[in-house]
Amino acid sequence: MSNLFSGDKLKSDLELALPYCKKLVVVSAFISKVGFEWLNNLVITNRPSVTLVGRLTPSDFLTGASDLETIKTALNEGYTVKALSNLHAKIYQIDDDLIFNGSANLTGKGLSIVSESNYEACSRVESCSESKHFIEKLVGAAVPITLLDIERMEIFLEKFDRLEMASVPATWPLNILPQPTDLLVSDFPLAQPGTIASEYELNPALPFAQIENVKSDFVLASALFKQTKAYSWLKKQITENQSERDLGFGQISRLLHDALADDPAPYRQEIKDLQANLYSYLKLYASDEIEVYMPGRRSEVVRFCYA
């Protein structure tokens, strides 16, 4: 079992390995100018293939948690940069064989590059097929960013006053950056309506965290709910699988179990809890489009509302 160590120790280990690596994957919720410059100086001679995956949401750039100009520099340097709005992981993978993870972002404070740094907890991970597969799946789920995307982001961010963060959307409009296609647990409500799950506080970019944040505005909350991947997925299931009988709770559970891309896959009870939460949101925000009802003593059934 690997021992825990500090962000300073992680920095030292990376400084020994990075100048000689041929392939590097960095998964970091936040990417700062200081962190990137430190990294780029270490690989500038050997020029490995580098992939950066960050959260990279509008609020991250406006608050300075990540730096948009730095992302542009990374693209100009030939790095592959990808965004995953519900990202919280921090992983450093070198040549497939050396993997570190923990709490340290690719920032000055995360890697003890600056004097007043964070207390981080990191570890070296066994480079087994399961670990590699997990990282591959995470990177594959993220959305690539191009220089054209950066231009659109810059124009979009100019609309917002940095002192009024409440008006900043948690994710990019779809015409600027599309959402990942994989369906994940985090795309579903992790709690009942009106309840703030701990995960929402960690990542306000989660779709149902955004809905809870605007719940006082019913029209806006309803519109956001109808834009979620969870709601779109359910509508598709009703359209494609509905025959003479409407879809029951168990049928939807089985379809959801097969659709979720999380690794490891969630337990069936967790899936049922997600589904129950989703049905509560349906009743609150989309009863004009989808009906949830219980025929006799059977389980809940869903069907489209017809005029």
| First-to-last C-alpha distance (Å) of the chain | 61
Give the Cα separation of 100 and 41 in Å (integer): 20
Q: Which of 138, 47, 121 is nearest to 39 (CA)?
A: 47
**pLDDT of 81-121, one tens digit each?**
999 988 888 999 999 889 999 999 999 999 999 988 999 99
52 class by beta-carbon count within 10 Å (0-12 exposed, 13-18 middle, 19+ buried): buried
Domain regions of the chain by residue span: 7-157, 182-304
Task: Please say if the pLDDT value at position 169 is more than 70.
Answer: yes
d(CA 107, CA 98): 20
Range with lowest mean pLDDT among 69-73, 143-147, 250-254, 278-282 = 250-254
Tell me the C-alpha distance between 42 and 113, whole Å: 13
Radius of gyration of the chain from its Cα atoms, rounded to whole angstroms:
21
In CATH terms, 7-157 corresponds, of 3.30.360.10, 3.30.870.10, 3.75.10.10, 3.40.50.720, to: 3.30.870.10
The pLDDT of residue 1 is above 60: no
- Which of 68, 73, 87 lies closest to 27 in space, CA to CA? 87
Q: Which two tokens stand for residue 178?
A: 């599309």
Q: Which residue has the tokens 């379809």?
A: 255
What are 21's two structure tokens? 């690596």
